A and B are shown apart, each in its own frame.
Chain A
Amino acid sequence: MPGGGRCPDCGSTELVEDAHYTQSQLVCSDCGCVVTEGVLTTTFSDEGNLREVAYSRSTGENEQVSRSQQRGLRRVRDLCRVLQLPSTFEDTAVAYYQKAYQHPGIRAARLQKKEVLVGCCVLITCRQHNWPLTMGTICTLLYADLDMFSGTYMQIVKLLGLDVPSLCLADLVKTYCSSFKLFQASPSLPAKYMEDKEKMLSRTLQLVELADETWLVTGRHPLPIITAAAFLAWQSLQPSARLTCSLARFCKLANVDLPYPASSRLQELLVVLLRMAEQLAWLQVLKLDKRSVVKHISDLLQHRHTLIRKAFREGTLEVEALEKELQGQGPGQGQGKEEVGNSASELPEGKRPASPALLLPPCMLKPPKRVCPAPPASTVTGDENISDSEIEQYLRTPQEVRDFLRAQAAGQAATSSPNPP
């Protein structure tokens, strides 16, 4: 064979290219020594002219599990173990990760996104088994940004076409409250602050249900409401000793983070309880305020279904507006409100409980932020003439252009010149 190859054994130049079981070999035709041999089969050799094929364009990606996918799968398993999830969850989460990885958009995503994807798969698995895991927890564990997490989560749910049930509130209450460090005596916990777990759990659950019925839960993050409810439950179990403790101190004692909205949820819950208290005869005379109502939470919770029905009524803002109009027009119709709504009170006027308030989410009860005047109809055809003067106002005069260029040059000279010592 021409080309100047020599057999290392016998020194002959008679080298023949031969294929032995599809393996190309360069063989000396004199002594049979194999000079070189190619790989058995490669994409290189299969391609004409031995052109290089990028890995991303070959089918190798689909056949092998890449290193980053392996790392991702390992992290999924680790996360499941850290959260102490049952072993079946692990397999499901791994399967989700693998399915997600088959999509090219995920495969080519940045490492940061693949990290977050680990958390998304675990979250979806937990949600489908009604295991109460919040996104905040996962983000804390992964050191991930909630914005990044939310984007990836929505994308993956849409991509895989999954049905993810909502977070189960009752389970979340149980899990979250169990994490409070209030149930065992410890040096940092005064004795009067220690509480029985079961009592606190049941009361917190009742308060959360109450919040749910009175529109305090829909549309809001569940955790601050549960924190506020747990605080009220804890306070009401021993009000004499605990009324002095604030929400922030309570969270510190219980060794949980205080979520920022929890204080406003607490106020909203107290308002609801006060309205309910107005319907109980023996509480009306006490003239409760937000602190003293805590002592009577057990009573209020006991009768909460009746009290909600009596203290609140269905209605919408327009019905309310209409009533106000009617009141304004009718002279001295002080109790006009009673005709609308279902206040079923037979007590004499003096002792009549307060007329029912509207049962609406807090965002509907607040006055509108600003009243925009209705802009009038103007007919625009889209084909109107555009006057030259109108366009001229948007163009710089030559003088302005010169001034601007000069200012720009001066600015650049100032930044580029070295600082005076």
Chain B
Amino acid sequence: MDQNNSLPPYAQGLASPQGAMTPGIPIFSPMMPYGTGLTPQPIQNTNSLSILEEQQRQQQQQQQQQQQQQAAAVTTVTAAVQQSTSQQAPQGASGQTPQLFHSQTLTTAPLPGTTPLYPSPMTPMTPITPATPASESSGIVPQLQNIVSTVNLGCKLDLKTIALRARNAEYNPKRFAAVIMRIREPRTTALIFSSGKMVCTGAKRRRDVGLPWLHVPLHFGVFTSLFYLGRGWEHGVSQWMLHVLPSPQARRLVPHKEHEEQSRLAARKYARVVQKLGFPAKFLDFKIQNMVGSCDVKFPIRLEGLVLTHQQFSSYEPELFPGLIYRMIKPRIVLLIFVSGKVVLTGAKVRAEIYEAFENIYPILKGFRKTT
């Protein structure tokens, strides 16, 4: 160690320049491919979430008065719906009990007597005049990308038997002490351990089932009227929505617990498979452990500036990873912020934490929008 002259000072290049550039570090959650989950463009003058609040209030106050009017309108509309959605699997009306777990995320309970294809199908028969926007609200809603959940099947399992008798299972005890099982619908992967515990990942809605105008979550009546007018629904929607709502890409304005329910359905399917293989599997303690969301603020961000002002929360090491790791304390979420404006949020147990975290970070990011 005393040969000072044989070693060149500093910067003798990179041990593995390629490695230095690629973010192959296991401690970070995997990058989401760009292009999925594109968020709606931010609204110029309205706030979609405050529209939902407005709706919620209206519905709660006027539920009695409007019920008759709407029941009439509902029957015409649901008739139209039912005609065209004969392929759609019937949804149990009682199954949906949306819970209000946060003031910002709202799921409005279906009106009694209506087939609740959407949580709030009928309240706004006329377009709601947008409420005055909350001061700093972004109008961008993060999209959920992945959910990890665990469940206890309640009995000891013989992994060898499962791997032998199931088609969709792989089991390599030398590599990992669990069976890896996959199902196609919803497209998920599960790790099944011999103790009977199971981890299920990957619940994300995918397939194209149903008709395009089913995208539209709100203001149903307006669209059906346009539809009947003979103009393409897209034209009507795009013209109208530009005024009130974000672009037609906005499809997750009604945050009901779809991902979470998909995850639960998938876990139940795995439990069923294990049951059919002859084990007395139950479905105990289903719990969502982690949720990952992503969104795009659509402007570049000066990460160096952000790490200077928020040093206690941020970690930015361009030599290791191109993004900035922001550890928010309340709610306890980790955000990966990239120079292109894309943000990945992870570590949430409920959906509301992701939304809240994004609403907290958006004003901070806006502060770094302009260069000096």
Interface: A401 (CB within 8 A)? yes
Bound Cα distance A112, B367 (Å): 42
Contact B21 A369 (CB under 8 A): no
Q: Which residues of A contact B128 (CB under 8 A)?
A: none
Please, which residue of chain A has its CB at the minimum distance from the CB of B15?
Answer: A139
Bound Cα distance A141, B4 (Å): 12
Interface: A349 (CB within 8 A)? no
Segment touching A, from B45-53, B219-227, B302-310, B346-354 = B302-310
Among residues 188 to 244 in chain B, which have CB atoms less than 8 Å away from a CB atom of chain A?
A: 205-212, 214-215, 217
Per-residue B-contact encoding for A261-274, CB less than 8 Å = 1, 0 else: 10000000000000
Interface: B316 (CB within 8 A)? yes
Q: Which residues of A contact B167 (CB under 8 A)?
A: 393-396, 400
Segment touching A, from B55-63, B65-73, B130-138, B256-264 = B256-264
Dominant SS among interface residues on chain B:
loop
Interface: A147 (CB within 8 A)? yes
Segment touching B, from A90-98, A187-195, A285-293, A382-390 = A382-390
Contact of B92 among A83, A176, A261, A384 (CB under 8 A): A384
With A135-B320, A382-B262 in contact, is A147–B205 under 8 Å at CB?
A: no
Contact of B300 among A167, A361, A368 (CB under 8 A): A361
Interface: B18 (CB within 8 A)? yes
Segment touching A, from B74-82, B150-158, B267-275, B355-363 = B267-275
Contact A361 B340 (CB under 8 A): yes
Per-residue B-contact encoding for A150-180, CB less than 8 Å = 1, 0 else: 1101100100000100110000100110010
Contact B21 A221 (CB under 8 A): yes
Bound Cα distance A146, B35 (Å): 30
Contact B27 A151 (CB under 8 A): yes
Among residues 116 to 149 in chain A, which have CB atoms less than 8 Å away from a CB atom of chain B?
A: 132-137, 139-141, 144-147
Q: Which residues of B contact A134 (CB under 8 A)?
A: 10-11, 14, 319
- Distance in angstroms from B30 CB to nearest chain A CB is 15
Bound Cα distance A12, B24 (Å): 77
Contact A81 B1 (CB under 8 A): yes
Counting chain B residues whose Cβ lies within 8 A of the other chain, the interface size class is 35 or more
Q: Which residues of A contact B254 (CB under 8 A)?
A: 377
Contact of A371 among B35, B207, B371 (CB under 8 A): B35
Contact B208 A376 (CB under 8 A): yes
Contact A377 B168 (CB under 8 A): no
- Distance in angstroms from B109 CB to nearest chain A CB is 14
Q: Which residues of B contact A256 (CB under 8 A)?
A: 11-13
Contact A83 B272 (CB under 8 A): no
Contact B9 A179 (CB under 8 A): yes
Contact B11 A223 (CB under 8 A): yes
Q: Which residues of B contact A361 (CB under 8 A)?
A: 300, 339-340
Contact B11 A172 (CB under 8 A): yes
Contact B21 A261 (CB under 8 A): yes
Per-residue A-contact encoding for B90-116, CB less than 8 Å = 1, 0 else: 011001100000000000000000000
Contact of A176 among B11, B20, B24, B298 (CB under 8 A): B11
Contact A380 B261 (CB under 8 A): yes
Interface: A82 (CB within 8 A)? yes
Bound Cα distance A314, B285 (Å): 52
Please, which residue of chain A has its CB at the minimum distance from the CB of B302?
Answer: A218
Interface: A257 (CB within 8 A)? yes
Contact A219 B208 (CB under 8 A): no
With A166-B316, A257-B12, A368-B34 in contact, is A82–B1 under 8 Å at CB?
A: yes
Bound Cα distance A32, B18 (Å): 78
Contact A376 B117 (CB under 8 A): no
Q: Which residues of B contact A393 (CB under 8 A)?
A: 167
Interface: B330 (CB within 8 A)? no
Bound Cα distance A376, B33 (Å): 19
Please give 15 more A-B residue pairs, beta carbons under 8 A apart, in addition to A133-B10, A140-B12, A261-B17: A81-B2, A136-B13, A137-B10, A147-B24, A151-B26, A257-B17, A258-B13, A360-B300, A373-B208, A375-B205, A377-B252, A380-B205, A380-B265, A394-B181, A394-B273
Task: List 4 tightest A-B contacts by C-beta distance, closest first.
Answer: A257-B13, A382-B261, A381-B95, A136-B14
* Contact sample, A vs B, 8 pairs, CB 8 Å cutoff: A136-B14, A139-B14, A369-B33, A370-B33, A372-B38, A377-B210, A395-B166, A396-B166
